[in-house]
């Protein structure tokens, strides 16, 4: 008899389970239940629909040859039954049935299953913000004020786009400087809006370390965005039912459009009500086969908790790419195969104007919190041979465990090719690689694509120099702190006089590398000396010369002047 498989959720992971299962089992009786109207759409493309790069939201629901993935498509070309506008209200695990309700008609029906798949996705995490409408006394719900949006589904994206195209907004406030907040910022700026980002944390992009976050913030500011960090939103003020101002603990921002992008959490309510085990992150707990605590119920996508492969800890990684992998695994196992999902690397990539920002693994902050003894390299370098036309800068931060040399993570930002590097590091992290591996891997080389010593190889070599004690680093942030506290130290710039004249760090001392050996007497032996250059390769050479000549308190400033986000003299 045909297996009856019921899938709850039709956006990403659900349809993947259905399609893969159909390929494996031509007889299975497959049903998708989706609460919303739309099926199988690319949620990650929504910011680009808002921005206008993607003209019709339909495009997010089409196959590569332009066929719409609507219920009829699933029915006709795949033999998969779809009920949209239908939510599941209850799971009867003992009877192996779900109770479903059409949200338009209120009609209730039950469906029996041999296997149930929960693909209920994520829900918006909305912070506790008060709201008032100056035309009406008392508080209102912040979500009820006009032109206050989140970005979850197609309907949200349509509403924001409508506000833009109808020219109802001129000033936008984006609440939350995370991934979605940044993608939305780009879309709004490109549509001519003045944008303010409000981030409650000390730096934007908590998926990065702060030293990388500040570089992105500086870039974002250079694109005309007002970025405010360490500010907590307290209140929305509206007038005539529409938002007018956002009030924080530090200021007041006019706004006729507000996007709340403060993250997502797993939508595991249905699973919880059914008594399935929920993990510490709030996601549904699953084993490597994507089975929940009930062996006849699988869960996939943004509603589950997964393992972070780098540290083995439970994690929440709501990513369309992982949802697809999990869907495949669940389908194979339901079909009687044997397939595992090992976990994720918390890999992220996104576009911000002309920058690409990517990361994988753990940040320094995360790694330290977990008890790792952390070392890292910060390397600015061109993305291809520096002499090749069009070469663009990227900054790579590579992170490892001091004790074992094991790779822990990577962060890469800049206008250049970031993708290649994060693909290689994610792969190395998957295999549990060590820093030395990245010095050794034969990555292909030609001047239009890489330097003869690839950025990643450079970063690995710098990191090994640190791990093996040949180099002691100090972050720009730490140097700035010393400067602000008026601590005594020499900030030794070893670039050429020409480079120094064009731009320099206030208070730095210039001794070009080529003359250093002859000018050692100019340097005090009792003070800390911090060397740097453009990217801190010459800075490293200078530190070696100093140490060889008996200077004991010598450090190299990570990333050189290229990664210095503070005051500069020109």
Scan residues 133-162 and list those touching a second copy (CB under 8 A).
none
Q: Tell me: does residue 541 bind a second copy (CB under 8 A).
A: yes
Q: Tell me: does residue 166 bind a second copy (CB under 8 A).
A: no
| Piece of the chain touching a second copy by CB under 8 A; list 108-116, 231-239, 435-443, 483-491 | 435-443
Token couple for 284: 């549904």
Measured from the CB atom, the residue of 141 and 427 that comes closer to a second copy is 427
Cβ proximity of 197 and 226 under 8 Å: yes
CB of 422 to a second copy, least distance (A): 6
* Residues 415, 394: Cα–Cα separation, whole Å: 6
Q: Which of 312, 448, 497, 507 binds a second copy (CB under 8 A)?
A: 448
The DSSP annotation for 260-314 comes to: E---EEE--HHHHHTT--B-TTSSBP--TTSB-SSTTEEE-GGGB-EEBTTT--E
| Piece of the chain touching a second copy by CB under 8 A; list 136-144, 232-240, 279-287, 324-332 | 324-332
Cβ proximity of 151 and 178 under 8 Å: no
For 548, residues 6+ apart whose C-beta sits below 8 A from its C-beta are: none
Measured from the CB atom, the residue of 23 and 273 that comes closer to a second copy is 23
| Piece of the chain touching a second copy by CB under 8 A; list 133-141, 187-195, 254-262, 422-430 | 422-430
* Residues 234, 297: Cα–Cα separation, whole Å: 42
Map residue 43 onto helix, strand or coil.
Answer: helix
Cβ proximity of 539 and 494 under 8 Å: yes
CB of 189 to a second copy, least distance (A): 16
Count of residues that interact with a second copy, criterion CB under 8 A? 95
Q: Tell me: does residue 534 bind a second copy (CB under 8 A).
A: yes
Q: Tell me: does residue 449 bind a second copy (CB under 8 A).
A: yes
Token couple for 33: 């239940």
Q: Tell me: does residue 404 bind a second copy (CB under 8 A).
A: no
Give the N- to C-terminal CA distance of the chain in Å, as an integer.
Answer: 78
**Contact letters (x/-) for a second copy, 358-387, by CB under 8 A?**
xxx---------------------x--xxx
Considering only the C-alpha atoms of the chain, give the largest distance between any 2 of them, rounded to a whole number of Å. Answer: 89
Phi-psi region of 494 (alpha: psi -120 to 50; beta: other; left: phi over 0): alpha
Q: Tell me: does residue 430 bind a second copy (CB under 8 A).
A: yes
| HEC per residue, 110-159 | EEECCEEEECCCEEECCCCCEEEECCCCCEECHHHCECEECCCCHHHHHH
Measured from the CB atom, the residue of 146 and 263 that comes closer to a second copy is 263
* Residues 531, 186: Cα–Cα separation, whole Å: 37
| Piece of the chain touching a second copy by CB under 8 A; list 112-120, 190-198, 213-221, 320-328 | 320-328
With CA atoms as reference, report the closest residue to 533 among 490, 477, 493. 493
Measured from the CB atom, the residue of 239 and 439 that comes closer to a second copy is 439
Q: In the β-sheet with 86-92, what is the strand arrangement from edge to edge?
A: 86-92, 97-102, 108-112
Q: Tell me: does residue 423 bind a second copy (CB under 8 A).
A: yes
CB of 320 to a second copy, least distance (A): 4
Measured from the CB atom, the residue of 108 and 503 that comes closer to a second copy is 503
Where does 170-251 have alpha helices with state H?
A: 179-190, 210-222
**What does DSSP assign to residue 473?**
E
Q: Tell me: does residue 563 bind a second copy (CB under 8 A).
A: no
Measured from the CB atom, the residue of 140 and 544 that comes closer to a second copy is 544
Q: Tell me: does residue 356 bind a second copy (CB under 8 A).
A: yes
**What does DSSP assign to residue 2?**
P
CB of 262 to a second copy, least distance (A): 19
Q: Tell me: does residue 439 bind a second copy (CB under 8 A).
A: yes
**What does DSSP assign to residue 569?**
B
Q: Tell me: does residue 44 bind a second copy (CB under 8 A).
A: yes
Scan residues 452-471 and list those touching a second copy (CB under 8 A).
452-454, 457, 461, 470
Map residue 367 onto helix, strand or coil.
Answer: helix
- Out of 44, 220, 303, 533, the active site residue is 44
| Piece of the chain touching a second copy by CB under 8 A; list 152-160, 210-218, 399-407, 449-457 | 449-457
Clarify whether 220 is annotated catalytic.
no
Scan residues 79-118 and list those touching a second copy (CB under 8 A).
79
Q: Which of 65, 94, 105, 336 binds a second copy (CB under 8 A)?
A: 65
| Piece of the chain touching a second copy by CB under 8 A; list 149-157, 168-176, 266-274, 445-453 | 445-453
With CA atoms as reference, report the closest residue to 201 among 146, 127, 148. 127
Q: Tell me: does residue 314 bind a second copy (CB under 8 A).
A: no
Q: Which of 109, 162, 296, 431 binds a second copy (CB under 8 A)?
A: 431
Residues involved in catalysis: 44
């Amino acid at each position: 008899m045909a297996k009856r498989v019921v899938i709850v959720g039709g956006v990403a992971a659900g349809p993947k389970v259905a399609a893969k299962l159909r390929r494996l089992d031509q007889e299975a009786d497959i049903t998708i239940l989706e609460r919303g109207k739309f099926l199988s759409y690319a949620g990650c493309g929504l910011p680009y629909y808002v921005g206008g790069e993607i003209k019709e939201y339909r495009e997010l629901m089409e196959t590569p040859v332009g066929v719409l993935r609507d219920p009829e498509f699933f029915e006709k070309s795949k033999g998969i039954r779809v009920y949209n506008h239908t939510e599941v209200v209850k799971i009867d695990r003992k009877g192996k049935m779900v109770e479903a309700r059409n949200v338009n008609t209120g009609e209730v029906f039950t469906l029996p299953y041999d296997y149930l798949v929960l693909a209920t996705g994520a829900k918006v995490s909305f912070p506790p913000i008060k709201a008032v409408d100056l035309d009406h006394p008392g508080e209102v719900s912040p979500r009820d004020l006009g032109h206050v949006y989140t970005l979850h589904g197609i309907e949200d994206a349509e509403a924001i786009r409508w506000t833009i195209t109808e020219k109802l907004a001129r000033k936008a406030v984006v609440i939350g400087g995370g991934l979605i907040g940044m993608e939305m910022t780009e879309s709004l700026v490109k549509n001519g809006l003045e944008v303010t980002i409000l981030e409650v944390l000390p730096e934007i992009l908590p998926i990065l370390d702060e030293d990388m976050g500040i570089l992105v913030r500086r870039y974002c500011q250079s694109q005309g965005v007002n970025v405010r960090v360490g500010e907590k939103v307290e209140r929305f003020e509206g007038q005539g039912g529409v938002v007018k101002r956002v009030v924080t603990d530090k200021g007041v921002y006019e706004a006729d459009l507000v996007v709340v992008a403060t993250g997502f959490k797993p939508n595991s309510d249905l699973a919880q009500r059914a008594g399935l085990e929920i993990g510490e992150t709030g996601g549904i707990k699953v084993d490597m086969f994507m089975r929940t605590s009930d062996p006849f119920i699988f869960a996939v996508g943004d509603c589950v908790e997964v393992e972070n492969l780098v540290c083995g800890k439970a994690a929440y990684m709501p990513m369309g790419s992982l949802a697809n992998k999990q869907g495949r695994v669940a389908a194979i196992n339901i079909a009687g195969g044997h397939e595992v999902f090992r976990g994720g690397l918390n890999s992220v990539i996104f576009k911000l104007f002309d920058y690409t920002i990517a990361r994988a693994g753990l940040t320094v902050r995360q790694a330290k919190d977990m008890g790792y003894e952390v070392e890292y390299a910060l390397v600015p370098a061109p993305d291809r041979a520096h002499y090749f036309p069009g070469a663009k800068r990227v900054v790579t931060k590579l992170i490892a465990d001091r004790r074992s040399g094991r790779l822990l993570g990577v962060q890469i930002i800049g206008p250049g090719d970031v993708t290649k590097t994060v693909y290689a590091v994610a792969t190395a992290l998957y295999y549990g690689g060590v820093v030395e591996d990245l010095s050794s891997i034969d990555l292909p080389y030609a001047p239009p694509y890489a330097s003869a010593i690839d950025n990643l190889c450079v970063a690995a070599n710098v990191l090994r120099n640190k791990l093996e004690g040949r180099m002691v680093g100090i972050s720009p942030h730490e140097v700035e702190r010393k400067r602000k506290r008026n601590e005594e130290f020499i900030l030794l710039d070893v670039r050429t006089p020409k480079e120094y004249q064009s731009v320099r760090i206030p208070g730095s001392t210039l001794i070009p590398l080529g003359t250093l050996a002859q000018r050692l007497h100019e340097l005090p032996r009792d003070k800390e000396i911090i060397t740097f250059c453009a990217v801190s390769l010459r800075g490293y050479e200078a530190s070696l010369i100093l140490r060889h000549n008996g200077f004991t308190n010598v450090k190299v400033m990570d990333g050189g002047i290229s990664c210095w986000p503070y005051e500069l003299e020109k």
